[in-house]
Amino acid sequence: MIQSISHEAVIAHYQANYRPEDLVITAAGGVDHEEFCALVQTCLEKAGWDFSQTAVPRPRRDGTPAAITPATGLTVLHRESEQAHVIIGFPSLHAMDERRYTLSVLNAILGGGMSSRLFQQIREERALAYAVYSFISSYSDAGYLGVYAGCAPAKVAEVMEVARQILSDIAEQGVTESELLRARGQIAGSSIMALEDPGARMSRLGRAELVAGEFLGSDEALRRIDAVSRDEIQALARALFAQDLTAVAVGPDLDEAILSPVVKGRVL
């Protein structure tokens, strides 16, 4: 398939999709603005960009959530491997949702580190999986939250059941004050350490320009994290986990008849 793509097709795709009105360029480090802009223009001219015509930048998307009907239920893929891979997921928040800071704290408590509920209960207490964590991703009009575990094929059903119970407990009982404090500290530490990487700084600038149209400094971002309350976390958990589950299990010797009832329907 890839070998059938011609040089002309690549050029045509580039010219159709990489256009001045779509371009955002960011840089981080010891950069002189005027020299950098001149260098970018030189490179684009060499690439065949036409600077004789002006282009009005495209407007940002308005942040209206996309109308998505997610697939629900369980999908089992049989693969020969030493362990099985399990993902449970829900539709989540788009990038400009006011609850996005609450979502970050919820994710940290759920499965964002070694002190998280998923890690402690599934790996440390029950030894059901070597790798287990939760993850989030947010886009301009949609997002998702997921739980991943890598485990022995015979443990898949139990891992799913424990993960489902953890989700239910957070939604119904909320989180503790100590969990909230640890999550805030973890997010603050990882955020500050990420600033040591120029690539991360550059990506942060680009995302702010493309998605939000505003840049939040680290102090303001951490202030918003510190303002998240336990009640807000529980309310968001109840909203997210009241949706139908979507799950995928990949590995050898997986019995769909046994796994399907574990993830059928909703957590709440």
Q: Does a structural domain hold residue 18?
A: yes
Among 116-120, 148-152, 153-157, 189-193, the minimum mean pLDDT is found in: 189-193
Task: State how many domains the chain has.
Answer: 2
What pLDDT is stored for residue 167 in this prediction? 97
Reported as a pLDDT band with limits 50, 70 and 90, residue 166 is very high
What pLDDT is stored for residue 220 in this prediction? 92
Q: Is residue 143 predicted with pLDDT exceeding 80?
A: yes
Q: How many CB atoms lie within 10 A of CB 214?
A: 8
- Please tell me the pTM assigned to this model: 0.88
Q: Does a structural domain hold residue 159?
A: yes
Q: Is residue 268 predicted with pLDDT exceeding 80?
A: no
- Do both 146 and 238 map to the same domain? yes
Q: Is residue 237 predicted with pLDDT exceeding 80?
A: yes
Among 8-17, 61-70, 94-103, 137-146, the minimum mean pLDDT is found in: 61-70
- Do both 8 and 120 map to the same domain? no
Q: Does a structural domain hold residue 133?
A: yes
Range 137-142 average pLDDT: 90
Q: Does a structural domain hold residue 101?
A: yes
Question: At 196, which amino acid appears?
Answer: E
Among 47-61, 173-187, 235-249, the minimum mean pLDDT is found in: 47-61
| Residue ranges of E strands in the chain | 73-78, 84-91, 129-138, 143-151, 246-251
Long-range contacts from 59-67, C-beta under 8 angstroms, 24+ separation? 60/140, 60/210, 60/211, 60/213, 61/140, 61/141, 63/94, 63/95, 63/96, 63/140, 63/141, 64/141, 65/94, 65/141, 65/142, 66/94, 66/141, 66/142
Q: Which domain holds residue 111?
A: 73-263
Reported as a pLDDT band with limits 50, 70 and 90, residue 215 is confident
Q: Each residue of 37-95: pLDDT tens digit?
A: 999 989 888 887 877 777 788 887 777 788 877 778 899 999 999 999 999 999 999 98
| 167 CB-side CA count, 13 A | 26
Q: Is residue 2 predicted with pLDDT exceeding 90?
A: no
What pLDDT is stored for residue 93 in this prediction? 94
- Do both 174 and 105 map to the same domain? yes
CATH classification at residue 152: 3.30.830.10
In this structure, the strands spanning 246-251 and 84-91 are: antiparallel
